[in-house]
Amino acid sequence: MRIVLGIGNPGRRYENTRHNIGFLILNSFAEKNKLSFIPSKADYYFSEGESGENPFVLVKPATYVNNSGLAAIHALDFFNAELKDFLVVADDVNLNIGSLRVRASGGDGGHNGMKSIIYHTGSNVFPRIRIGIGSEFTKGEMADYVLSKFHKSELGAIESSAGLTLQLIDAFTAGGIKQMLDFYSKIKED
């Protein structure tokens, strides 16, 4: 069983904001695969699918970003998945708009949602896709920035990275982390 968790905040107020790019990606992936999210008995919404003969689950925490680890640990336990089969999709203010960083493991990069997942799982050894949301804010205004919507001038770069991210998730759900990383390295070479 593979799990793909998108980091974001629940509720209409946060829809289509920079911090919710993980939710936006999972919504697009679910729509592309004709899947729907339903509430779990824990703090997340989920959708189950199959890639070939490989089952996967999409997870959107019902907690705020800072508590994403609660949903992560519940989903990992409930679906009996290993961390190597647990992919996190998150925003990153340290990357330019639309840039991607794909890794098999790593630190929290200053992201509170990632920090929560590392804390609750007790490990930073799980794959992740970070999508750049830029850093056009002044000191002390990061919270307002990540909770703002993308500017029209940024949407092209975001749509391009979203399309690539969907392909990376396809590779992950079909063949795991190795297939995803192999696919990513081929794209980077082109």
Number of H helices, E strands in the chain: 5, 7
CA-based angle 145:118:4, to the nearest 5? 75
Task: Name the residues annotated as catalytic.
Answer: 19
**What is the Cα 95 distance to its own chain's centre?**
15
Token readout for 120 is 């609750």
Q: How far is CA 54 from CA 3, 57, 171, 175, 176, in A?
A: 11, 10, 11, 8, 9
- First-to-last alpha carbon distance for the chain, in angstroms, is 31
